[in-house]
């Protein structure tokens, strides 16, 4: 197959691009929906291998499941000029840690890929999610006017 035909074949497949990613956050009774994220990686999953011996035969059995970055999962958000998204996330963070109301550990973060062809792509929901860190927003007096971002770090138990 010549290179041009191969490229046309790839373009026709609608391959995933490194843009087009929205996030829904539901933590501590608060919700932020359809926020465009500047950057995040889809979560990884690893199943440990266990070796079991039965009558001299070796069997490979799936063991513990481990989710990559489950304790520290960062998502970088664009910061709108009114700061509403960050304020909502800060409120969620405070409510999740209010032990008297029992909001801790029941949150979710849904990552949605946006397909250039159909608009809807794959979706992954981080279950039992909590906010661990809301990073700073760096404003620079003599900056270039570039849109600022901030990073929120989540912890989660598993994804679906």
Q: What is the pLDDT of residues 97-133, one digit of tens each?
A: 765 555 566 889 999 887 666 566 788 999 999 999 9
pLDDT computed for residue 50 by the predictor: 92
- Contact assessment for residue 73 and residue 41, using Cβ atoms and an 8 Å cutoff: no
| Closest by Cα among 160, 155, 121, 151 to 40 | 151
Q: Which CATH architecture has domain 15-159?
A: Roll (2.30)
- Contact assessment for residue 130 and residue 106, using Cβ atoms and an 8 Å cutoff: no
Q: Is 116 strand, coil or helix?
A: coil
pLDDT computed for residue 61 by the predictor: 93
For the chain, the domains span: 15-159
The string of pLDDT tens digits covering residues 23-64 is: 999 987 888 888 888 878 888 889 999 999 999 999 999 989
| Average pLDDT rounded to a whole number, residues 65-94 | 89
Q: In whole angstroms, what is the distance from residue 2 CA to residue 149 CA?
A: 42
């Amino acid at each position: 197959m010549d290179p041009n035909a191969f490229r046309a074949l790839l373009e026709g497949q609608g391959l995933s691009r490194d843009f087009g990613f929205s996030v829904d956050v539901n933590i501590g009774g608060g919700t932020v929906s359809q926020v465009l994220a500047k950057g995040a990686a889809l979560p990884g999953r690893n199943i440990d291998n266990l070796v079991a011996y039965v009558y001299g035969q070796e069997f490979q059995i799936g063991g513990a499941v481990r989710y990559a970055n489950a304790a520290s999962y960062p998502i970088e958000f664009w910061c709108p000029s009114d700061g509403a998204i960050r304020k909502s996330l800060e409120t969620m963070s405070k409510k999740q840690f209010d032990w008297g109301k029992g909001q801790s550990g029941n949150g979710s973060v849904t990552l949605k890929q946006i397909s250039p062809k159909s608009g809807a792509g794959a979706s992954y929901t981080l279950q039992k999610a909590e906010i661990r860190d809301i990073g700073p927003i760096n404003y620079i007096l003599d900056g270039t006017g570039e849109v600022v971002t901030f990073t929120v770090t989540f912890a989660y138990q598993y994804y679906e």
